[in-house]
Amino acid sequence: MPFGPLTCQYCGKTYTVNAQKRLAVTKFCSRLCRARGTVTPEINAKKAHYGAQHPKYVPVGTRRIWQGVPGVQVKTDQGWEREHRVVAQPGPNQVVHHINGDPTDNRPENLEIMTQTEHAKLHDPERERDTLGRFT
């Protein structure tokens, strides 16, 4: 049994709905009118959470330490980066070595830039090997 006439809030057309939809709040004659009628600049402005207005916004320069991840991360314009790499600024094929072994100590005097090969040779005596000479 049709219920109506109702007027669409978007296009102004008169329409009817069946008895089951009468219980729901029907303001639009079609899905297209509902989509167009509910997306307006005023409504979008209320929903907008860009930049500092976003509830999860983190400003550039913020430091974080995650459990289970060694070292400190810092927020940059490109995203989250390891703090020692931001401080030392190594080249593309270079790594940063912490002289005192503490991954949270990112003072420039504690950081040394070297190649991956040099870094592996530096830490090689610290690693244990099994009876076949493989790293464990």
Query: DSSP assignment of 32-66, as one string?
Result: HHHHHHH--HHHHHHH---GGGSTT---TT-EE--
One-letter-per-residue 3-state SS of 75-104? EECCEEEEHHHHHHCCCCCEEEEECCCCCC
DSSP state of 114: E
Per-residue pLDDT of the chain (136 residues; tens, 9 = 90+): 567 788 888 899 998 887 766 656 678 888 898 888 887 777 777 777 777 878 888 999 999 988 887 889 999 999 999 999 999 999 999 999 999 999 889 999 999 999 998 998 888 877 777 888 787 7
DSSP state of 71: S
- The model's pTM is 0.56
pLDDT score for 133: 77
Give strand pairing partners of 5.
none
pLDDT score for 23: 58
pLDDT score for 59: 92
- On whether the CB atoms of residues 51 and 61 are closer than 8 A, the answer is no
